Structure 1
Amino acid sequence: MANESFDQTMMFQGKVDDELATSDILYTVHEALKEKGYNPINQLVGYLLSGDPAYITSHKNARSLIRRLERDDLLEELVRYYLESHKECK
């Protein structure tokens, strides 16, 4: 029966393969900054505080990659990672 298909819930699978994870973007940006001779931590902090993408090099497409992420989401990810990886250090 044709109406039976309306009683079933369909699942939608988004394209996850094409999207880079936050950690992948951070590592790529870090490496690009390091390769260009910058202090990656200082540059990332400058970007996070100001929102100015000029702190990030365009080498390896790093500037475009970092702009894919919302700064508040990036900060949330960094804090979560730090706290989870330092649980046993209390």
Structure 2
Amino acid sequence: MGNDNTIQFNIPKDKEDLTKEILTEVYDSLIKKGYNPVNQLVGYLISGDPTYITNYNGARSLVRKLERDEILEEVLKAYLGIK
């Protein structure tokens, strides 16, 4: 008799894709709440204070899934066109 349980295999998302997805969701939540998303994200990235990010749609907990230095790394690579 074999094992009848199904094993789920998850391939982790590429860090770049995950960062973009999370930042896009956070950006959208900040826009919907009337904030300037660039200013708020810069404030968060510089200070580390999560209150720069709204709780709306879980944006604050989403952005905290990423390390700030990793966010900056991905943003800088995208800006410079580096893979």
Q: C-alpha displacement at 1:16, in angstroms? A: 2.4
Aligned length: 72
Alignment of 1:35-50 (within 5 A): 35-50=32-47
Matched residue type, 1:70: E
For residues 5-60 of structure 1, give each alpha carbon's deviation from its aligned partner in whole angstroms, at most 9, with x where no partner exists: xxxxxxxx65526xx71100000000000000000000000000000000000001
Cα distance in structure 1, aligned partners of 2:46 and 2:78:
19
Q: Which runs of no fewer than 5 residues in structure 2 stay unpaired? A: 1-8
Query: Which of 75, 78, 81 lines up with 1:81 in the alignment?
Result: 78
Query: Which of 65, 73, 82 lines up with 2:62 in the alignment?
Result: 65
Q: Which runs of no fewer than 5 residues in structure 1 stay unpaired? A: 1-12, 86-90
Larger C-alpha radius of gyration, 1 or 2? 1
TM-score (structure 1 length as normaliser): 0.73
Matched residue type, 2:12: V
